[in-house]
Amino acid sequence: MWNEKSRVDGNICFDTRIGQLNEKQLIEKYNLNGPRYTSYPTAIELKEQPLNKQSVTTAMAKSDNDELSLYIHIPFCKQLCYYCGCHKYLARNESKAFAYVDSILEELASWQASCNEHYKVSQIHFGGGTPTFVDNSTISKIVGKISADYSVTENAEISIEFDPRTCDAKRLAELIEMGFNRFSFGIQDFNPETQIAINRQQDIKMIEPLVKVLKDKAIPFNFDLIYGLPYQTQSRFNDTVNQVLRLRPNRLSVFNYAHMPHLFAEQRRIDEAALPSATEKLAIQLNTMKQLTDDGYVYLGIDHYALPDDSLAQEQKKQQLHRNFQGYTTKGHCDLLGIGLSSISQIGQLMFQNEKELSGYQHKVSNDGVAITKHLYKSLSDQARWYVIKNLICNFELNITPYETKFGHLFNEEYKNEIAKLQTYQRDGLVKISNESIKITDLGRLFARLICKEFDQYLQDKMISKQFSKAI
């Protein structure tokens, strides 16, 4: 285990104790539900109410941001991964996606004029589902539409979530030629028993030639892992991490599996008796953190790591790391426009989400050009609280003077109730509170989302929703 003694280059120093609590006490006290805070308010606070395109255009005109991140959602998968909680549709062949891609192109056309009036596009990301469910010619059609119709910066980041079961080295090379310059691999775990239990089988020999293509061309790539899956133990996950370290991705996401079968029917296929206990999950998490940081990775927090020269690590070092619906990002100066079903957007102080059902999305786009079904305008209080939460979850420190300068009121008076609640965290060694700042300790990083929830006004007067996963 570990406590906070010293840190080198922003990384964690491990030891044999956990603050003033032993492991069992820590789990009992802090294994609670809470949001991951990719936004504030969180997406569940969006109101079921359509929004017309003109309202979004007005928000674009009022926004302080002049760059845009485009998110393209491809919801189809050929095979169901039992752990998944994404909005997706199972399909055997690509023809199922043809009409949907037409709707994507139509929605892009609908936003073109408004976006070009206010933004340059500096980031494009394809997510899913499985974006590589569709073939390269279809992906090229979408990329070509954006390139032709939108003002895309010369050095734009163009990334894609990449299922190695659907692509070989030749296809990967074609995507690079198309302009993709960052790839994210869904790995989850290399242990065969776990892979069978989650219905996602892929040998490391399938990954190695793809990594070689990227490394030969000096193109950065990310790996996604998940801990808390069936049949995982410290020893088994340790082996997976060692294999990952040999391939050395630029970034790593090591997610805590959120077992919520009441929300995601596919998770009912997972044998709950095979899931590791909370104690084992914490041990896996701590051991993984030690493996990665000992090998030179910077722990960014909330499941994410990066090599020291990666832009995410550099931005955190400058205390300029940002967080949005895509997770940690360097694009804090960008508004985010989501294209496709279920996609969430953030334009200035306006948050909105598209229709989640396939037929409903296609019908709305066909009739209106857009498919917005939920939205929320951030209040001044929302903006102030997001400033607090974002600093704590990205930089693990909130400096009070800049906050007071920005929002024009005394922090300790505005948040006296929240500060009172943080005293428990301080006694347990998770935060350090002074008149100048609130700092999350190394130990506290494990529970940053719970610390942040104390500033969440929407959760203060109600039970923590089962829509959120547990911290451990």
Q: Reduce the DSSP state of residue 74 to 3 states and report it.
A: strand
In degrees, to the nearest 5, what angle opens at C-alpha 335 toward C-alphas 42 and 373? 50
pLDDT at 263: 84
- Look at residues 281, 78, 56, 291 and name the one whose alpha carbon lies nearest to residue 166: 78
So what's the pLDDT on residue 92? 83
Residues 6+ apart with CB under 8 A from 360: 371, 373
Residues 394, 400, 405, 407: what is their CA dihedral angle, to the nearest 10 degrees?
Answer: 70
User: Cα–Cα distance between 353 and 362 in angstroms, integer?
Assistant: 14
432, amino acid identity: K
Strand pairing partners for 298? Answer: 306
Write out the H or E segment, with its range, that includes residue 366: helix 358-368
Q: Going from the N-terminus, what domains does the chain have, and what CATH number goes with each?
A: 1-30+380-472 (1.10.10.920), 61-377 (3.80.30.20)
**pLDDT of amino acid 10:** 46
Q: What is the pLDDT of residue 462?
A: 55
Quote the tokens at residue 416.
Answer: 């006296």
Q: SS3 for 168?
A: coil
pLDDT score recorded for residue 325: 87
CB 85 within 8 A of CB 129: no
Residues 6+ apart with CB under 8 A from 358: 75, 89, 100, 341
DSSP structure class, residue 21:
B
* Beta-carbon count within 10 A of 441 CB: 20
The residue among 429, 427, 434 whose CA lies nearest residue 444 is: 429
Q: Which pLDDT does position 5 carry in this prediction?
A: 39
CB 284 within 8 A of CB 259: no
List, run by run, the mean pLDDT of 10-residue segments along the chain (472 residues).
41 49 74 86 93 96 97 94 87 90 98 98 95 95 97 96 89 96 95 96 93 97 96 97 97 91 90 93 91 95 92 92 90 93 96 96 96 97 97 95 97 96 94 96 88 91 61 68
Peptide bond into 41 cis (omega under 30): yes
Question: How many Cα atoms within 13 Å fall on the side-chain side of residue 398?
Answer: 28
Contact 249, 185 (CB under 8 A): yes
Contact by Cβ (8 Å): 164, 210: yes
